[in-house]
Structure 1
Amino acid sequence: MFRRLLPLALLAPLSAFAQSQPAPVPVPTPLTPAPVVVTPTPAVPALTLEECVARALDKNFDLQLQQFSTQNARDEIIAADAIYDPTLFSTAALAGRKDNTTGTETTTQQQSASVGVRQFLSSGALASVSTGLFRSKERPYTAPPLFNPVYNSDVSLSITQPLLQGFGVTINRAAIQRARLGVTRANYDFKAVVLAVIRNVESAYYTLAFAREQLAVRKFSLEVAQTLLDENKARLNTGVATNLEVLQSEVGVANARRDLLLADQSVSDSEDALLRLIGRFEFSTRPGLVSLSDQPVPTVSFDRSYALALANAPDYAANKIVAEQLKLDLAVAKNNRLPSVDLGAAVGYNGEDRDTARSAFNSATSGDTYNWQVDVTLSIPWGLRAGRARYRQALTNLNRQETFIQQIDQSLLVQVRSAVRAVDTNRETVAVSALATELSQKQFETEKARYEAGLSTYRFVEDSRQDLDTARVNELLARVNLRIALAELARLEGTSLDRYQVKLEQ
């Protein structure tokens, strides 16, 4: 109360002095803060949030980088399955021998060629079919040139089947199944990036809207400060105001200009942040007009949001896929603890002729001469320590992953709880801050009217103006925080895809 009475006592003599002067004090037109609305103009088209999301999904670098990982995962299936593709092989050889142990020098020349195909089977077996042609000739060195070539040919089939280690379709196709799970995991990772990009675009869009509206607030504040400065200068000329009040007004204008510069910088930074998400080096053109959404805020529920998060959260689903891959690794490691026992079988047909290679080959295919073989090979590493250690590692990795999934579940629960609280809190904050803005605006108008009537000081007017600026910025910030909280909750729930009609490859 004393603070109010003291300025009045000081201003009373000045008011009497002003009334004695012939020239009346000019009364400026009251300046009432107008609502901060970014009005679209024909020259600057509006930029909707939906358009920003569509551009981000088309040009965002994070999405493009993740697509490379997805493509690699698809190629991994082909690489894993290619082990069961047939493999063609061929061999050609030329050999010679000279023997002089009997006193007669003898030379032997040998030529051979073979071709065949081998293939791994899902059971772990290796099957091979081949045919070959062998030609040899021998002649004494001192004898007349007498060539005696001999042609041999064969057609053979062999197969080797593991009986313990490496036996079974599940074990041998584990790499293929793991690669297929890897594609599913990559798709979940891509979904996570899409949800994050949508959330980041929403946040950047609302942040830009806030920055621009804050800039409008700062511009209006500068206009108010400049008007008050002009009024005080006019009062100083008539002897009503003091040099101190004019100096305070000039400081108020300087502070308002500083705030305007900072707000303009914030707008430029926010524009670059949005352009970085929705384009590629497209910083020469400023984004169009953006606005804060006025859509009704839906009622949120933790139980519903948590259920959606468990069903749609890509990180949670991707780590469950990792657990499935580790189960395959565990099965392979368990099989590798066994000794290696391989059953082999082979059959071949042979032919020989001294005239032509064709005759030798026809003789082989006639089936008159053949041979066969059955064998069993046993291999046991001493103590089987490596296989057992690998099995324990695979089991530990699986247990660790299952524990990590539980940790993700807990983290998801906490994040959903926090997001739901953020929506509820910011909804109430918007309502409270709107009332605070209305109150601050009325207080400013009242204080300015009192000042113009000589019942207050400039200091009180400046304080009320700053309070009004703070209230209006806080209201804008509360609205932005509410929309960002809704965007974060939608990311956790995975509902952003439905909102923007985004269809992902399964």
Structure 2
Amino acid sequence: MSRRFLHEWRQITIIVGLTLVSVAGCEGLLGDDDTYRVKIVPEKLHHIETLELEKASEQARDVVADANEEPAEEITLTLEQCRALTLGNNLDLKVQLVNPAIAAERISQEEARFEALFSANGGVGKTDTPVPSTLDIAGSNVDYSYSGLGVRVPLRTGGTVNFDIADNRTKTDSLFAVFNPSYSSDMSLSLSQPLLRNAGHRVNTY
């Protein structure tokens, strides 16, 4: 009975010892808090700093080590720290972070082709034309002014719609002018649409 008890006790001792050794080994593999000490700030990954050429050239000269200089102190890094440093200083990844913004700007650039275009114009003028007689119908002095507004709307089918309004004012010294000054207003609406080349929604949006 005592032998059996000693045998079982020995087995239990061996199992407990192996369990403690395994737990200690796993803790060693997991590492301590220093393993995750290196952390990359998210703002640093989403922001590309401008390169100052003068400062970079000075740093490049400082990097050139003297042959008699003692080597730098050895630094021990874990695998996680190496990954963090590599990803944080990878220029290819920084470029990829900017690509979505560039693609969005290109989409905005293409969509701007279909934005309405407003236009405005105006002017004033005066003419003084000698006439042989004061009875001339046109008159010798004419003052005029004009102003206009327009809207041009590109269509996704390739066509354009134009809407224009113009206002004119004319004043003359003619004795035969019925309305002096006289006013006139014009309004026009036009639609142009290609039928073959550059026609269609798919051609202009893809």
TM-score bracket, shorter-length normalisation: 0.5 to 0.7
Cα distance, 1:68 vs structure 2: 2.8
Q: Is 1:85 aligned to 2:115, yes or no?
A: yes
Unaligned runs of 5+ in 1: 1-38, 175-506
Counterparts of 2:203 and 2:32 in 1: how far apart (Å)?
Answer: 67
**Matching residue of 1:108:** 142
| CA deviation after TM superposition for structure 1 residue 65, in Å | 2.5
Q: Counterparts in 2 of 1:154-233, with a 5 A limit?
A: 154-174=186-206
1:97 aligned residue: 127
Matched, 1:153 2:185: yes
Listed as ranges, the matches of 1:344-363 within 5 Å are none
Distance 1:43 1:173 in 2: 57
1:280-317: CA deviations, max 9, x gaps?
Answer: xxxxxxxxxxxxxxxxxxxxxxxxxxxxxxxxxxxxxx
How far off is 1:55 after superposition? 4.8
SS at match of 1:162: coil
2:97 to 41, 63, 67: 67
- In proportion to residue count, which structure has more strand? 2
- Take 1:110 and 1:128, find their aligned partners in 2: how far apart are those partners? 26
Cα distance 1:43–1:72, how it changes in 2: closer, same or farther (>3 A)?
closer
Other-structure match for 1:124: 158
Spell out the pairing of 1:243-392 with structure 2 (5 A cutoff).
none
Give me the whole-angstrom Cα distance separating, in 2, the residues matched to 1:111 and 1:129.
Answer: 21
The structural deviation recorded for 1:70 is 3.4
Q: Structure 2: which amino acid aligns with 1:119? A: V
Write the letter of the residue equivalent to 1:106: S
Once the two structures are TM-superposed, the CA of residue 166 in structure 1 deviates from its matched residue by: 1.3
How many residue pairs get matched? 130
| C-alpha distance in structure 1 between counterparts of 2:34 and 2:140, whole Å | 98
More helix by share: 1
1:49 and 2:79 are equivalent in the alignment: yes
Deviations 1:6-25 (A, max 9, x none): xxxxxxxxxxxxxxxxxxxx
Instruction: Summarize deviations over 1:222-257 as a string: whole Å, max 9, x none.
Output: xxxxxxxxxxxxxxxxxxxxxxxxxxxxxxxxxxxx
Counterpart mapping for 1:230-241 below 5 A = none
Please state how far the C-alpha of 1:79 moved relative to its aligned partner: 0.3
- Kept after mapping to 1: 8 A contact 2:142/2:173: yes
Whose relative contact order is higher, 1 or 2, with alpha carbons under 8 Å and at least 6 apart? 1
Cα distance in 2 for partners of 1:43, 1:171 equals: 61
Match of 1:254 in 2: none
The residue aligned with 2:53 is: none
- What is the Cα deviation at residue 93 of structure 1? 1.6
Alpha-carbon separation, structure 2, partners of 1:127 and 1:44: 68
Task: Return the alpha-carbon distance in structure 2 between the equivalents of residues 170 and 72 of structure 1.
Answer: 24
Aligned-residue offset at 1:155 = 2.5
In the aligned structure 1, how far is the partner of 2:144 from the partner of 2:94? 59
User: Partners of 1:100 and 1:110 in 2: how far apart?
Assistant: 17
Find the residue that maps to 1:74 and give its secondary structure: helix
How far did 1:75 drift? 0.4
Change (3 A) 1:44 1:121: closer
Structure 2 residues not aligned, in runs of 5+: 1-27, 36-76
Do the aligned partners of residues 150 and 58 (structure 1) sit closer, same or farther apart at CA in structure 2, a change above 3 Å counting? Answer: farther
CA RMSD between the two structures: 3.1
Q: Distance in 1 between matches of 2:204 and 2:131?
A: 54
1:133 aligns with 2:163: no
* Sequence identity (%): 28
Residue 171 of structure 1: SS of its match in structure 2? helix
Using the TM superposition, give the Cα deviation of residue 113 of structure 1 relative to its aligned residue in structure 2, in angstroms: 1.0
Q: For the structure 1 residues 149 and 167, does the alpha-carbon distance in structure 2 shift closer, same or farther, using more than 3 Å as the test?
A: same
How far does residue 122 in structure 1 lie from its aligned partner after superposition? 0.9
Q: TM-score, normalised by structure 2?
A: 0.53
CA displacement at 1:58 relative to structure 2: 4.5
